[in-house]
Amino acid sequence: MTPWRFAAPPHPWVHPVPAFSDNYLWLLQSPEARRAAIVDPGDAAPVLQALAARGLELICILLTHHHADHAGGVAELTARTGARVIGPRSEKIPGVTEPVGDGDHVDPGLGGPVGRVVAVPGHTLDHIAYLFPSLGADPRPLLFCGDTLFAAGCGRVFEGTPGQMLASLDSLASLAPGTLVYCAHEYTLSNLRFAAAADPDTAEVANRLAEADAMRAAGIATVPTTIGIEQATNPFLRVDQASIVQQAAGRLGHTPSGRVETFAAIRQWKNEFR
Ligand code: ZN
Ligand code: FE
């Protein structure tokens, strides 16, 4: 039995490559353990190190959006490995060799089933996520969602509208509850501190906060999470909950006109929350 209730047992073929202060670059390994793909390589050096340590050849790069902490390592990695680069149709990302959009199929060449692109505008307008039915013998679906859905949180709304971001989160929330969620940052603890304020009546949030606190103190990554865990504890997926509507009303000074206003109010609150 796993000691952690709110973090999924890690996938045997997906490895976190920590970068900068809190990014995870996700290394996907083929089950026969020679080829690899990397999601959102903001920095090349830690990726090259991880490839060498595991004896892997990089054949594919997958990008979720144009921010430098996600795409900054592409030029050096492609120069050194010749890897294909799958990414959003966006003039803001140089080096994409296979531009993709919503509903497109994606095959990183690791021998698993093809994945699907889900457009998730909001954090940026070009933001996409990748959903794979499984990888290797592990039957769990995998979602790589960059800076859209975080463990117990969501990305800042930089380029899109709150309505766009909420629709993107809704589409991810509708995936199978067992889907592994690989987000791009270790923000879980600060997200859960906010979640405990925004959703004070939900005991699962407080329990998850205590668990994440212990995991971080032990140096354990809190990612991956699952869609089911997020449905139960992520305030940005729970904007229809009476307790969260009530907190939003307290911030706004009036009852929110609907779920987009609730979402916008708690997203704004999170921006200011310390
Ligand atoms: Zn970003
Ligand atoms: Fe980021």
* pTM of the shown model: 0.97
pLDDT at 268 over 50: yes
Q: Considering every ligand atom shown, identify the ligand nearest to the alpha carbon of residue 19 and give its number.
A: 2
User: Known catalytic residues?
Assistant: 65, 67, 69-70, 123, 147, 185
Q: Is the pLDDT of residue 263 over 50?
A: yes
SS3 71: helix
Sole residue written with tokens 């976190």: 16
Q: Which ligand is nearest to the CA of 22?
A: 2
- CA 67 to ligand 1 centroid distance, Å: 5
- Nearest ligand, CA of residue 24? 2
Of the listed ranges 3-12, 178-187, 262-271, the one predicted with least confidence: 3-12
Q: What is the pLDDT of residue 1?
A: 41
20-50 confidence digits (pLDDT tens):
999 999 999 998 889 999 999 999 999 999 9
Whole-angstrom Cα distance, residue 85 to residue 8?
A: 29
Q: Which residue has the higher pLDDT, 104 or 33?
A: 104
| pLDDT at site 183 | 98
DSSP labels, 169-233? HHHHHTS-TT-EEEESB--HHHHHHHHHHHSTT-HHHHHHHHHHHHHHHTT-----EEHHHHHHH
CB 116 within 8 A of CB 179: no
> How far is ligand 2, taken at its centre, from the CA of residue 146, in Å?
7
Which tokens is 273 given?
């929350």
**Ligand 1 mean position to 262 CA, how many Å?**
23
Tokens of 167: 């629709």
| Cβ neighbours around 189 below 10 Å, total | 16
- Counting Cα atoms < 13 Å in the Cβ hemisphere of 233 gives 29
What's the farthest any 2 CA atoms get from each other in the chain?
Answer: 58
CATH hierarchy code of domain 14-272 = 3.60.15.10
Per-residue pLDDT, 5: 80
Residue-range domain boundaries for the chain:
14-272
Strands 98-100 and 84-88: parallel
pLDDT of res. 73: 98
pLDDT tens readout for residues 133-154? 999 999 999 999 999 999 999 9
56-86 tens-digit pLDDT:
999 999 999 999 999 999 999 999 999 999 9
Nearest CA among 268, 61, 27, 39 for reference residue 154: 268
Give me ligand 2 centre to Cα 70, in Å.
6
Q: pLDDT digit string (tens) for 153-212?
A: 999 999 999 999 999 999 999 999 999 999 999 999 999 999 999 999 999 999 999 999
Q: What is the β-pairing status of strands 128-132 and 142-146?
A: antiparallel
